[in-house]
Amino acid sequence: MLEVRDVTAGYGRTMVLEKVTLAVPPGGAVAVMGHNGAGKTTLLRVAVGLLPVRSGRVFLDGDDVTGLRPSARVRRGLGYVPQGQQAFPQMTTLENLRLITTTRERIDDVLDTFPALRGLLSRRAGLLSGGQRQQLAIARTLLTQPRMLILDEPTEGIQPNVVAEIEGVISALTERGDLSVLLVEQHVGFALRATSSYCVLESGRITSRGDGGPAAIDAVRAAMAV
Amino acid sequence: MDSFTTPLLAGTATGALLLIAALGLALTFGQMGVINMAHGEFLMAGAYTAFLTQQVVTNADVSILVALPAAFVVAGLLGLLLEVTVIAWMYRRPLDTLLVTVGVGLFLQQLAKDVFGAQGDPVRTPSWLEGNLPVFGYHWPYRQMFTIVLAVVALAALAALLKYSSFGRQIRATVQNRDLAETVGVRTRAVDRITFFVGSGLAGIGGVAVSLISGTNPRLGTAYIISAFLVVVAGGLGQLKGTVIAAFAVGIATSFFADWTSASMAQVATFALVVVFLQLRPQGLFTVRSRGLA
């Protein structure tokens, strides 16, 4: 579904990713883990098209999308929930959703997934809590009807009661079968529960790979302790 | 009563003109952050479109109605051309944009001089705008009142576009978070171009209104551009209601100062007043509040 092949990328003179290769099969879910500064977010930004590659290619459904802008990749089925509970702050919750579609049924469907947003539709997104904004960010991305969903630390900085809800939604999405997921997550236990395989990124290189599931937790912790 | 109503009503009309000029800037500068010093020349292009339309549609009663959409399209296309050929390469480089667009503005002025001559051309007033309405001793020209109607219609159309249309939501999304807008499928480059078209087109409509009051002139835009920028900054970036209040405040203040002193001293006094206001409130009249940094 998504393949990042031999990608080198960075900012200015600083190279953050060095020849990284990663593939997410159709319907599969892959977790990317690593310490802060390892290059996880940079990898996702390359996959989405927000950061150009220095070398290497990005494929979506077998098509080379390396030169395509993010909006063109979204139309090809890529969905992206960025780090930091991002919303359009001066637009209301409903306007954030109506940016993607004005079809009432589709909006109702995502609100069924995040019922807490129903009472906040007329509130400006900039005035929502971090957890509410993250729910809005996931709901908005789901409205783009992605077949490949990329999530960057979706539970980071969110109050625990909302974390459980978001984890539940993401786990359900990864089990749907018609949706591929690439998940960057600091919370190793949740990441391994929600995905079928993992890789560990350290200093811009993939240092470890394996099957997901709770049994992999020790292997991942060992890889990240190096 | 004359000494109060005359500058108040004349100033309201000036404010309306400023508002039309500033609405376009509120989009391109307030929303997109582009300092386009050639915006005044789009006003001038609108005025010459009104003049040229009268050469083709000789009935002045009709030609002004043809000139309004024509000026919107002509000035809009000029803005679009400027965006595609120059400004697109200079986003996030405000000083470069400022300098280059000053050059583009001078080029357009010279072009107008070469084509139409240095002297201005009159634009005939339609019969339905001739005459005036007596208000407390001031004979308020219908032409000035028409400017106010035009400003209100332009404001309402722009506000409705931004608030209720799908394209308006895309403009606001692009302004608030360009990368995020791209990643939810908004074609931000197309949005940039259309925003510039609409913002410049509004200046063209302002130019038609100006042409009814003072005719055409290659340097017509320079009289409005600085004031229009002041209006957008004083109103608060990204806020249409601030732009509206600031436009009428600057227009009316200038009119009162002109009544008490002279036209040139009025400009100086108004600018000084705005500078003092911005010292006290650098963010302008209205600011955007947000709970998080998102």
pLDDT tens for B207-258 read 999 998 888 999 988 888 888 888 888 888 767 888 999 999 999 999 998 8
Name the residue among B173, B188, B189 with its Cβ closest to that of A99.
Answer: B173
CB-hemisphere CA count at 13 Å for B12?
A: 16
In chain B, residues with a C-beta closer than 8 Å to the C-beta of A80 are 183
Give the domain ranges of chain A: 2-84+133-224
Give the chain A residue whose CA is nearest to the CA of B185. A71
- Most B CBs within 10 Å: which of A85, A90, A127, A134, as the mutation test of the B interface? A90
Residue B47 amino acid letter: A
How far B28 CA sits from the closest chain A CA (Å)?
18
Residue B292: list chain A partners with CB under 8 A: 85, 89, 126, 128, 130, 133
Instruction: Quickly state the pLDDT bin for B184 (edges 50, 70, 90).
Output: very high
- B166, B169, B292 ranked by CB distance to A91: nearest: B169
Q: pLDDT digits over B78-132, tens only? A: 999 999 999 988 877 888 888 999 999 999 999 999 999 988 888 888 989 888 8
pLDDT in tens, A105-122: 999 999 998 999 999 999
Q: Do A85 and B292 touch (CB under 8 A)?
A: yes
Confidence tier at B294 by pLDDT (50, 70, 90): very low
Closest partner CB to B172 (pick from A49, A90, A144): A90
Q: Which two tokens stand for residue B94?
A: 């405000």
Q: Quote ipTM for the complex.
A: 0.90
Report whether pLDDT(A226) > 60.
no
- The mean pLDDT of chain A is 89
CB contact under 8 A, B182 and A100: no
Helix/strand/coil (H/E/C) assignment for every residue in chain B: CHHHHHHHHHHHHHHHHHHHHHHHHHHHHHHCCCCCCCHHHHHHHHHHHHHHHHHHCCCHHHHHHHHHHHHHHHHHHHHHHHHHHCHHHCCCCHHHHHHHHHHHHHHHHHHHHHHHCCCCCCCCCCHHHCCEEEECCEEEEHHHHHHHHHHHHHHHHHHHHHHHCHHHHHHHHHHHCHHHHHHCCCCHHHHHHHHHHHHHHHHHHHHHHHHHHHCCCCCCCHHHHHHHHHHHHHHCCCCHHHHHHHHHHHHHHHHHHHHHCCHHHHHHHHHHHHHHHHHHCCCCCCCCCCCCCC
Tell me, what amino acid is at A159? Q
pLDDT mean across residues, chain B: 88
Which residues pair with residue A92 across a beta bridge?
Answer: A124
The minimum CA-CA distance between A220 and chain B, rounded to whole Å, is 30
**Which amino acid, B232?**
V
Residue B61 above 60 pLDDT?
Answer: yes
- The verdict on A127 touching B (C-beta cutoff 8 Å) is yes
Q: Name the fold adopted by A2-84+133-224.
A: Rossmann fold (3.40.50)
Determine, for residues A127 and B290 on separate chains, whether the beta-carbon distance falls below 8 Å.
Answer: yes
Task: Tell me the pTM.
Answer: 0.85
Give residues with Cβ within 8 angstroms of B111, minimum separation 6.
none
Burial class from Cβ neighbours inside 10 Å (0-12, 13-18, 19+) for residue A122 reads: exposed
Q: Which residue of chain B has the CA closest to A49?
A: B183
Is any Cβ of chain B less than 8 angstroms from the Cβ of A133?
yes
* Half-sphere exposure (Cβ direction) of B227: Cα atoms closer than 13 Å: 27
Contact at CB, B290 and A80, closer than 8 angstroms: no
H or E segment to which residue A184 belongs: strand A180-184
